[in-house]
Amino acid sequence: MIRQFRRVAWWPLLAVFAWWAVTLSARGFAVPDEGRYAGVAWSMVTTGDWLVPRLDGLPYFHKPPLFYWITAAAMQWAGPVEWAARLASLLGAMTGATALYLFARRWEGERFGRLALVSLATQVLVFIGAQFANLDMLVAGCITATVLAFAHAALVLAGGDRPRATLLAAYLFTALGVLAKGLIGIVLPCGVIVAWLLLQRQWRILPSLVWWPGVLLFAVVVAPWFVLMQRQFPEFSWYFFYVQHFARFAQGGFNNRQPAYFYPVVVLLLAFPWSLWVFRGAGSAAVSEPMPVTPALRRLCWTWLLVVTIFFSLPQSKLVGYIFPAAFPLALLAAGAFGRAEFPSRRLRLWWRISTGVAVGACVTAVAFGALNPFHSSRAIGVALRQAGPSDRIVFVKGYWFDIPVYAALRRPVIVMDDWNDASVKERDNWRKELADAGRFDPAAGKALLLPFSDASTVLCTPVTTWVVGDAASVAQFPMLEREAIVAAQGDVRLWRLAATSAQQTRVGCAQAGGLPPAS
């Protein structure tokens, strides 16, 4: 095994890493996703609690902790900067790329492995996912490594050998996939491998893939965090597994409802032009005599692509990032359409070069567009808020701007004022529901941080300097903001600084809000 790794040409992977990493900080956070996940990781750094993910100081159990651990480790060293927040996604993409390259190289040859890397690295779908701070690319990389490790083990077992190291790697990446995003880390790889072996009529290999040392390794890696969370929060398992897994999959009450054909269209467009090569490869007869394993690998890739697409097309709620695991088999299929030709014609080579150029141009254009058109970013507000002193109070009214605590490098939670008794808080899948759900795991902290509008005087008219973030319409509801200077503005978001008041200096508008509270 060690000798095999020494013979691998690693420079293609280093080139892919550089290609993905060079624009890692080219744009601000896209919110809510990037700001949310970066903020949870930053809270681990500021609180020193690396076990319980927290959103605005409240336990946040939408997802498991692997992304947060990697991101927090990067932020611990570099601070709350964009590239540190996106490092986990880059590592996830590189995990998948490395597994794909090693697998393709082993079974189809060095040239084929490099072609697969070109197709993978220049898909807009993967290029953006590798530098987008959320959990989707991290789990996609783990799923890819798991599928390819089990597939390699199955192929070796069919030849009569026992690939113990590969099986251990398969179980390790399964465990990391579960820690990255939950049950899909095991459900999707198992679905792909089982379906593939059934199509291969090699179902007898399945029992050999269930190996007790691997199962033990999986349990050792996965179990501790889940056990600790369940012991500390009795409702954890119900919320994490039922609400965030089964309910989100089966019910239609969550955001981003899309039609069943959503993901085929996404793959066709965001993997263009490589998605067109897949169709060419499916019907092309101009290939050399296939290697004995080639038909099995084609079935693996098509099974993988279809299982992932169908699985995520079933629920009504759909996000682009969910389909990331499909990009890896697509890259192998695209490479096969060109790489297996015995003598590629001049026209075929020309089309491959044109496709590479188009794909590279699409990736650069996508990053440039994101840099010039920040998606709901509040970077200017966050940077201005760095002026706040350690004892100053920070209040968000009628909104939670996920990226502001990260850009401002805040070390304490902010107070969020809203109508928390509104029935829609529990019904609509948005920032209000996320914070309200988190508050139920720590009622005392929730009561202190999630305040109703009726507490405006207590919050905004105090002997403490208070920074208020809200939209332009906030002035109508909070008269004390009307005569205060706006420190920073970005889009519709405003930042006000309210100097400390005293009993002799009641701020205009505080009387309407309920009067001045006693100094503390």
pLDDT per residue as tens digits for the range 192-238: 999 999 998 888 889 999 999 999 999 999 999 999 999 999 999 99
Please give the single-letter amino acid code of residue 110. Answer: E
CA distance 199 to 217: 29
By C-alpha distance, which of 115, 61, 10, 134 is closest to 337?
Answer: 115
Greater confidence, 519 or 209?
209
Burial of 221 (0-12, 13-18, 19+ CB in 10 A): middle
- 375 CB neighbour count, 10 Å cutoff: 13
CA–CA distance from 225 to each of 12, 58, 79 (Å)? 36, 18, 25
Q: Find the range with the poorest average confidence among 10-14, 217-221, 501-505.
A: 501-505
Mean pLDDT, range 337-362, rounded to an integer: 83
Mean pLDDT on 340-367: 86
pLDDT at 286 over 60: no
* CA angle (131, 372, 78) in 5-degree steps: 40
Q: Which residue has the higher pLDDT, 149 or 478?
A: 149
> How much of the chain, in percent, has pLDDT values that exceed 90?
62
Distance, CA of 253 to CA of 317 (rounded, Å): 8
Distance CA 150, CA 167 (A): 7
Which has the closest alpha carbon to 133: 174, 98, 81, 202?
81
Please report the sign of the dihedral spanned by the C-alpha atoms of residue 432, residue 435, residue 439, residue 445: negative
Determine the pLDDT at residue 517. Answer: 38
Query: CA distances (Å), 408 to each of 53, 243, 384, in order?
Result: 19, 32, 7
pLDDT value, residue 66: 97
Decide if pLDDT at 518 tops 50.
no
Strand 58-59 versus strand 466-471 pairing type: unpaired
Cα 168 off chain centre by: 25
Q: How high is the pLDDT of residue 196?
A: 95
- Whether 10 shows a pLDDT value over 90: the answer reads no
Structure tokens given for 431: 């920032």
Please give the mean pLDDT across all residues of the chain: 87
Mean pLDDT, residues 349-370: 92
The single residue listed with the structure tokens 């491998």 is: 193
Nearest-angstrom CA–CA distance, 304 and 326: 7
Q: What percent of the chain has pLDDT over 70?
A: 90
**Listing from the earlier edge strand, what are the strands of the sheet with 493-498?**
450-451, 415-417, 393-397, 466-471, 493-498, 486-490
Q: Identify any residues that bridge with 57 across adjacent strands, giving them in sequence order.
A: none
Question: Can you give the length of the chain in residues?
Answer: 520
Q: Are 324 and 330 in contact (CB under 8 A)?
A: no
Q: Which pLDDT band holds residue 511 (cuts at 50, 70, 90)?
A: low
Task: Determine the average pLDDT of the residues in 70-84.
Answer: 96
Contacts of 514 (CB under 8 A, 6+ apart): 454, 456, 457, 458
Q: Is the predicted pLDDT of residue 3 greater than 60, yes or no?
A: no
pLDDT recorded at residue 501: 66
- pLDDT (0 to 100) of residue 510: 63
**pLDDT at residue number 291:** 54
Question: What pLDDT does 4 receive?
Answer: 56
Highest mean pLDDT among 36-45, 156-165, 448-457: 36-45
Please check whether residue 59 is in contact with residue 442, taking contact to mean a CB–CB distance below 8 angstroms. Answer: yes
Angle at CA 126, nearest 5°, toward 123 and 132?
Answer: 140
More confident residue, 348 or 46: 46
Report pLDDT for 203: 85
8 Å CB contact between 212 and 164:
no
* pTM for the whole structure: 0.91
Please name every residue paired with 466 in a beta bridge, in sequence order, or none if there are none: 393, 498
> Is the per-residue pLDDT at 75 higher than 90?
yes
- How many other C-beta atoms lie within 10 A of the C-beta of residue 297? 23
Mean pLDDT of 116-125: 95
Phi and psi torsions of 290, nearest 5°: -70, 150
